[in-house]
Amino acid sequence: RHAVIFASKLKNVDRLEQILDDVSDPESPNYGKHWTRAQLGSFLQNEEGSRRLREYLVGEGVTIISATPYDELITAEASIGTWERVFGTEFHEFVHEDWKGSVMNRALEYSLSEEINEYVESVFEVVDMLPTPERNWKLSTASLTGGCLLYTSDAADDSLRVDLGGRRIIKK
């Protein structure tokens, strides 16, 4: 089984900078009136999008295993075969010499159904990899015949994950 994290598209994001400026401006009547986590969460929460994403995933045989309080992040679990069908892709096993035999399952690209694309900001644990100083990821020979050295540019590295150049394609 493999866990995937969905970042929901939030509502009202375009208004956040204005609100931040308002509570940060000493001339504003709202100066210093910072929002609580609950206020921010309910302001940004996309209830319809979360509901539709959850329904779609469950309908595809995926199990929702956790979510943040306002569904900004939804973590779901399924077999690799199920994820390959959901994302229209093929997962491969990646190994790294520092992992001492551990394997990471990732795809090189993925697609999202139009049914959920408008509700998903990003997907994690599909094409992203944890960074290593050497960036010498190799496809496992169990996944493909013959090894293949993969690398990415530093521009794709956000210090938390390295994108393998995977792209998201909208299925029609």
Residue 167 has a pLDDT of 46
pLDDT of residue 99: 67
Q: What pLDDT sits at residue 95?
A: 82
Give the CA angle between residues 72, 77, 79 to the nearest 5°.
150
What pLDDT, on a 0 to 100 scale, did the predictor assign at position 123? 95
Whether 77 contacts 62, CB under 8 Å = yes
**Beta carbons within 10 angstroms of residue 128's beta carbon:** 19
Q: Which positions of the chain have pLDDT values less than 70?
A: 99, 130-172
* pLDDT tens-digit map of 120-146: 999 999 998 765 545 554 444 444 333
